[in-house]
Structure 1
Amino acid sequence: MDLDDESSDDEISIEEISKNDGPTALEIMHLLPTYDLKLAFPNLYLAYQGLCTMPASSASAERSFSKVKLIKTRLRSTMGQSRLESLLILSCERDKKINIEDAINTFGNSSSLLKKCLMYS
């Protein structure tokens, strides 16, 4: 028996397994409610939900921590939690382009009182 033949068989089987294009976690998560399995396996559904929402890397979390260092300096150490969260969101999402007219229209349409105030000012 030749050892090289056995190792090549193992390598081929590993390659075949890695080439297997089975369903993704997202596809399985969407199939569970389709076949009414979400109620039968609620923990499995939650596990797939968690798997699908996990980031591929920790870069976004690291970026958020570096923003906290920049925003929360010694001078601003007494800042409240809600203001800190708001400033972090503004800082992290500032590269997104926002149409000012759309923002005003959305803000104005959210309340009839706001709409009246915006129309008369």
Structure 2
Amino acid sequence: MAVAPDENSGQGWVSATLDSSVPAGTTLHVVDADGKVVATYVTSKQIQNVVYSSSAIRSGAEYRIHSGGSAGTGGTGGLAAKAGTLGSAEQIAKVTAGDAPEGGGFGGGPGGGRR
């Protein structure tokens, strides 16, 4: 189950439920409305939800999630220290920062959730 940061978080966040899952090893990019890659992540397992939080995300702004392209360099836990490039990456979701995905499946377990 995807869990987004608290509404009172000091930084912006995006959360997307994808139409279909993507396999392990997939390169995903969070892209702003100007086409700039804000973050690049390589999945370590099959996923269908993407949650990303950063001071670079502006609440209320539109972002797109792309699959493909190339991963950036360095980083920890699949998140590239330097954003990758889109190349021929395909847009797989469009979200508004700070909005929870529709259709349920959003919330938290112990210590999580929205209040």
TM-score, normalization: structure 1?
0.19
TM-score, normalised to structure 2, is 0.19
Structure richer in strand, relative to its length: 2
Structure with bigger RCO (C-alpha 8 Å, 6+ apart): 2
